[in-house]
Structure 1
Amino acid sequence: MDTKLYSIMEWLFRLVCVNFLWLLFSIPIITAIPSFYAMVSIIDKWRNETDNFSTFPEFVTEFKKYFWKSYINGFLHLVIIGVFIIDFFILRSTGNENLVVVSYALLTLAILFLTITFYAIPLSIKFQLKYYKILILSIIIIMKQPIRSIISITIPIFSIALLLIQTGFGIIFLGSLTAFFMVISTNVGLKKLYGNQISIKSTVEPQSS
């Protein structure tokens, strides 16, 4: 019991530290995306017991490493999700019943793409695969664990709610809590797909066809 409690406290400390770095590197606002990628990468290494590094220098390294890649992939996802949501509100405000049905279809697509993004970020960090293959693998994982996927995408909502209810406590886990569950859900999904046939460490690159 003491060992389990120690492990929980250690992880809480780690999430607070990496969340602070994420906030620090996100101060210019536009760097929030590569900063988030760096945070996911650090947490993924911790989960795979690759912790023989100093957190701050490693965060800087990962931030630089994924700077442009994160914008190409992450920003595209944000734009697509944003367009779906904006169209949802525009069509819903028309009052036309047919358009309202279409608006909810767009909202469903936005949620689906948000779920894909939830897996695509850790996968793009773990594996050197083409963008469309990352999307396909994300969809396969969603199909493999639909309930877990639905629960996982509520974590960002929970983090925002926590920020509004308990601002001080919410800030220290604002991004790291979401990143933590992204890594866990992705690792579980990969285990379901590949079992023990391949390692899921971030250094492994699965064979591409």
Structure 2
Amino acid sequence: MGRALYSMLEWITRFAYINLLWVLFTLAGGIILGLFPAITAIFSVIRQWLNGNSDLPVFHTYWNYYRSEFWKSNLLGLPVYLVSFVFLFNVFFLYANIGELLAWTSAPLLAGILLFLFYLFYLFPAYVHFDLNILQIMKNALLIMLISPVNTFLMVISLSAFTILVYVIPPLGFIFGASFYSFITLWFALHAFRKVQKKQSS
């Protein structure tokens, strides 16, 4: 019992620590340039954990991923920033001109935003899982998202449950927000990736 409790507290500490690293390294890159390397690093470390490499030094491993993937991850971030800006612009435009975001005319926009969010669920896991160029990563993430509705549904359910928990206990969002989001999406995305790879090899 004591050993199980110690192990649980150790993992809680790890997730809180890596979440703190995500915040600090995002700020270190001036937010705009630091966000995507920090996201890539947190996904990369958690992927190592899920693959059984839990004894790696957290800070050193995180820093190595952040440094080595800095420019490539920011290259991936350019289209993400662009699409996000287009969606935000359209949301504010509709709200300013219609006055009600949930009008029937906004349904295609809201559907597009939802699909984009689902796509992001797979994009960063694909980045850290596949050794490919940016265009191939984006293509793989899209294709696997389209053929993995069950995994996407499970991601949404799990993230919704965590969001409700954060709503009830707000400090959890600051302490574990990025790390738990990364863990949840990566867990289900890796399952989808391996399923596809298994079919391709058979």
TM-score range, shorter-chain basis?
Answer: 0.7 to 0.9
How far did residue 10 of structure 1 move? 4.2
Query: C-alpha distance in 2, partners of 1:9/1:186?
Result: 26
Q: Partner residue of 1:29?
A: 31
TM-score (norm 1): 0.77
Query: C-alpha distance in 2, partners of 1:10/1:75?
Result: 36
Task: Provide the aligned length of Structure 1 versus Structure 2.
Answer: 196
Q: Partner residue of 1:15?
A: 15
* SS of residue in 1 equivalent to 2:56: coil
Query: C-alpha distance in 2, partners of 1:15/1:74?
Result: 24
How far did residue 159 of structure 1 move? 5.8
Q: Which runs of 5+ in 2 are unaligned?
A: none
CA RMSD, aligned part only? Answer: 3.1
Could you say which structure has the higher helix fraction?
A: 2
TM-score (norm 2): 0.79
Percent identical residues: 27
Match of 1:58 among 56, 61, 65: 61
The letter of the residue matching 2:134 is: Y
Query: C-alpha distance in 2, partners of 1:183/1:44?
Result: 7
How far did residue 197 of structure 1 move? 7.1
User: Relative to structure 1, is the Cα distance of residues 128 and 43 closer, same or farther in structure 2, using a 3 angstrom cutoff?
Assistant: same
Q: Which runs of 5+ in 1 are unaligned?
A: 199-209
Could you tell me whether the CA contact under 8 Å between 2:151 and 2:189 is conserved in 1?
no
Query: C-alpha distance in 2, partners of 1:167/1:127?
Result: 34
Query: C-alpha distance in 2, partners of 1:170/1:66?
Result: 26
Instruction: Tell which deviates more after alignment, 162-171 or 69-78.
Output: 162-171
